[in-house]
Amino acid sequence: MEFTHYAWLIPVFPLLAFLVLTALGRQMKGIATGFSILAAAAAFIMAVLVFTERLGENVVDYTWDGFKWIGIGDFAIQMGYEVNNLNTLMLVIVTLVSLLVNVYSLGYMKDDERINTFFAYVSLFTFSMLGLVLSINLVQFFIFWELVGVCSFLLVGFWYTKPAARAAAKKAFIVTRIGDVGLFIGMLLLFWNMPGNSLEFSAIHNAAHTGALSANVITAAAILVFIGAVGKSGQFPLHTWLPDAMEGPTPISALIHAATMVAAGVYLVARTFPLFEESQAALTTVAIVGGFTAIFAATIALAQNDIKRILAYSTVSQLGYMMLAMGIGTMSSYTAGMFHLYTHAFFKALLFLGAGSVIHAVNEQDIRKMGGLGSKMKITMITFAIGTLALSGIVPFAGFWSKDAILTEAYHNVPVLFWVALVAAFFTALYMARLFFLVFTGKPRSDMHPHESPAVMTLPLLVLAVLAIIAGFVYFPGNAWFGEWLLGESPGEHADMTVMILSTVAGVGGLLIGWLLYGRRTFTEDWVEARALPAYQLLNRKYYIDELYDNGVVKPLRGIGYLLDWFDRYIVDGAVKVLSGVMTGTGRIGLRMQNGQLQAYGLIGVVGLLILIVAVVGRRYFHVG
């Protein structure tokens, strides 16, 4: 059996779950959640089967494009699905994290009265994300790209009575939409420049490499596509929505805002990588934005106090890492970027679910009020510690290998980016140490009664913890399996002892300083806050970017709106009023006939008809000559 040919089934399972839950959710109180979990499990099994099949020798990519979406003139836009090693990897990541989050939510959302709606949305998201991954062309990709965005919007605003959730949902949708318009225009540009008006990814690959597209078009298209990725992956300057999106339920933060959807931007760059390869300007843009975001978000994370926001800025920073890797532009840096996407999905989902376990236990998100939770929540603490080590890049956890792969590429190709990334790695370890020690060690700093979470929640933590340890072993110095499988060729040797030592120094150093500051001392007040006020304030307020956008964009736009409203009311409508005043003045007699009686209107109609006839007949008198 060729499982690859049945890959379309993978998104169909969660779609069915969504449809059933939406239509019958109210009637099937208890079993609705089971339906969603079952669908996620089926999708995961199918994805694994496809993956296993693709491990063999001589596998070929499979494409089906039999659905004619629309035909316009001489060309048609076909929809279908494509299976290659890149998206098989994504399929496994998405279905696995989705399955674990489904199970976890059974515990986390247990008491929510809209739990069925929640599971329906999660299923819809899983379907959309899988559809995105399998898309064969940019239009289809864009459709699913927007659908995952709307699912994110729905789930961020899931607790819709909270004003903060409403604002965050709106912001998530609108800010990513700014990026989407970039991608949209990029799509239009490519459409008219591609041979045969084809937007298929395979055609884009060929056109970029064969020179069918001019250099300017490639650069413009690549940068426009990247703008879309910037919005979705929370890169500077469109990063502001992602931390706010933490208003959503925590399992959602793990699934959508850490492991899958936000990584879709990186996947998009990977999918259209040949465009970037052919344009140095586009690559440089990607690398600079990614590198800057990596260090910029890491510094903000140093001074946040909400457990989820710290992790959110960490996600932004790590996505910056992946973009940076893509921006270096070699095949091995591309591999490194995808490798980091893959390991990050596991350990960041682990950290978010761990944070969810903490929030579930103490009903509090401010780490300054926590402390000493480790003694009561052993599994959560241990798994969280594993996640922390993986994210901080400590040997031999998964994050070390993927981060090392990126750092090595940067070191050999663009040394500046290497140092930026190294400092970011140091900050990463520092803020994670701060988070970990403030939450799990020391004494409780407020009155709370923590308890370990139920098994449905700890089980996913354990699974992810195992993955956070072992996921990196597919690709490390001496073992290039992952790269060979992904690319179909050897990505080249990527080991460098200097880099390994430096990255370990940064990681361990960050953790050590974090421990000195937050772990060793008995916490009374935030030490950093007390001593480095202006810098802390700047980071705590996230460099005032939100305020800048509010005063620089939102308020002026609204101001223009009020101005135009006045203009519309008094100038446009006013001019018409004057005009109609003149008309009604001269037409008093005519108006008197408009007394609402049908006969009068009939009469007017007849008169009109007569005028028409006279005009036709009489014109001959006027035009002769």
Partner 1 sequence: MLDNIPILTLLTFSPLLGIIAVLLIPKEMGHWLKTAAIVSTLVSLVLAGWMFIGLDHDLEGMQYEEKATWIEIALNQEAPNLNAAEKLIYQFNYSLGADGLSGALAFLTALISSMAAFASVHIKKRWKTFYLWFLILQIGMFGVFLSRDLFLFFLFFEATLIPMFFLIGIWGFSDREKAANKFLIYNGIGSAIMLIAFLMLINTAGFSTPQEDPTQPLQLIYSGDVGTIYQNLQDPGSYANVHHDRVGTANPFYMGLAMKEWIFLMLLIAFGIKLPIFPFHTWMLKVHIEAPPSVVMIHSGILLKMGAYGLLRFGVELLPEQAQTFALLIGIVGVVNILYGAVLALVQKEFRLILAYSSISHMGIVLLGIAALNVTGLQGAAFQLVSHGLISALLFLIVGSIIERTNTTELNRLGGLAKAMPFMSGMLLVGGLASLGLPGMSGFVSEFLAFLGLFETMPVLAIVGALGIIITAVYVLRGVLAITYGQLPEKFQEDGTVLRDARLTEAIPMIVLTAFIVLLGIYPSVLSEPLHHALSSMLARIGG
Which residues of this protein are in contact with partner 1, per CB under 8 A?
A: 68-73, 139, 142-147, 150, 157, 160-161, 163, 165-166, 169-170, 173-174, 177-178, 180-181, 184-185, 188-189, 191-192, 557-558, 560-562, 564-565, 568, 572-573, 575-576, 580, 583-584, 596, 601, 605, 608, 612-613, 615-617, 619-621, 623-624
* Structure-token pair, residue 264: 């879709």
* Structure-token pair, residue 168: 């965050």
β-pairing verdict for 62-72 and 75-83: antiparallel
Note whether 433 and 515 are within 8 A (CB): yes
Taking the least distance from each CB to partner 1, the nearer of 17 and 183 is 183
Q: How far is the CB of 611 from partner 1 (least distance, A)?
A: 9
Residue 237: burial class (beta carbons within 10 Å; 0-12, 13-18, 19+): middle
- Coil, strand, or helix at residue 496? coil
Q: How far is the CB of 599 from partner 1 (least distance, A)?
A: 12
Q: How far is the CB of 306 from partner 1 (least distance, A)?
A: 22
Taking the least distance from each CB to partner 1, the nearer of 8 and 191 is 191
Question: Longest Cα pair distance anywhere in the chain, in angstroms?
Answer: 108
Taking the least distance from each CB to partner 1, the nearer of 415 and 556 is 556
Note whether 224 and 305 are within 8 A (CB): no
Question: Residue 74, CB half-sphere, CA atoms under 13 Å: how many?
Answer: 5
Q: How far is the CB of 371 from partner 1 (least distance, A)?
A: 34
Residue 19: burial class (beta carbons within 10 Å; 0-12, 13-18, 19+): middle
Question: Chain-centre distance of CA 287, in angstroms?
Answer: 19
Taking the least distance from each CB to partner 1, the nearer of 160 and 473 is 160
Q: How far is the CB of 88 from partner 1 (least distance, A)?
A: 24
Contacts with 363 (C-beta within 8 Å, 6 or more apart), sequence order: 448
Taking the least distance from each CB to partner 1, the nearer of 256 and 370 is 256
Taking the least distance from each CB to partner 1, the nearer of 31 and 615 is 615
Taken in order 136, 58, 93, 310, the sign of the CA dihedral is: negative
Q: How far is the CB of 602 from partner 1 (least distance, A)?
A: 10
Give me the residue label for tokens 């978000």: 297
Q: Name the residue among 363, 330, 529 with its Cα closest to residue 434.
A: 529
Note whether 387 and 469 are within 8 A (CB): no
Contacts with 176 (C-beta within 8 Å, 6 or more apart), sequence order: 149, 152, 231, 232, 238, 241
Q: How far is the CB of 55 from partner 1 (least distance, A)?
A: 34
Taking the least distance from each CB to partner 1, the nearer of 92 and 165 is 165
Q: How far is the CB of 165 from partner 1 (least distance, A)?
A: 8
Q: Where are the alpha helices (DSSP H) in 157-214?
A: 163-193, 201-210
Q: Name the residue among 97, 196, 82, 86 with its Cα closest to residue 144.
A: 82
Q: How far is the CB of 162 from partner 1 (least distance, A)?
A: 8
Taking the least distance from each CB to partner 1, the nearer of 1 and 192 is 192
- Coil, strand, or helix at residue 441? coil
Taking the least distance from each CB to partner 1, the nearer of 550 and 565 is 565
Contacts with 168 (C-beta within 8 Å, 6 or more apart), sequence order: 156, 157, 241, 244, 245, 246, 247, 248
Q: How far is the CB of 624 from partner 1 (least distance, A)?
A: 5
Taking the least distance from each CB to partner 1, the nearer of 60 and 621 is 621
Taking the least distance from each CB to partner 1, the nearer of 178 and 500 is 178
Return the amino acid letter for 135: S
In the chain, the N- to C-terminal Cα span, in Å, equals 87
Taking the least distance from each CB to partner 1, the nearer of 197 and 330 is 197
Taking the least distance from each CB to partner 1, the nearer of 164 and 516 is 164
- Coil, strand, or helix at residue 493? coil
Cα–Cα distances (Å) from 234 to 105, 243, 421, in that order, read: 25, 9, 17
Q: Name the residue among 378, 268, 357 with its Cα closest to residue 311.
A: 357
Return the amino acid letter for 199: L
Taking the least distance from each CB to partner 1, the nearer of 78 and 260 is 78
Q: How far is the CB of 26 from partner 1 (least distance, A)?
A: 9
The DSSP code sequence of 477-503 is TTB-HHHHHHHSS-------HHHHHHH
Contacts with 614 (C-beta within 8 Å, 6 or more apart), sequence order: none
Q: How far is the CB of 581 from partner 1 (least distance, A)?
A: 10
Q: How far is the CB of 338 from partner 1 (least distance, A)?
A: 26
Q: How far is the CB of 143 from partner 1 (least distance, A)?
A: 4
Taking the least distance from each CB to partner 1, the nearer of 72 and 589 is 72
Cα–Cα distances (Å) from 444 to 80, 351, 522, in that order, read: 55, 21, 10
Note whether 470 and 399 are within 8 A (CB): no
Q: How far is the CB of 386 from partner 1 (least distance, A)?
A: 38
Give the count of beta carbons closer than 10 Å to the beta carbon of residue 193.
17
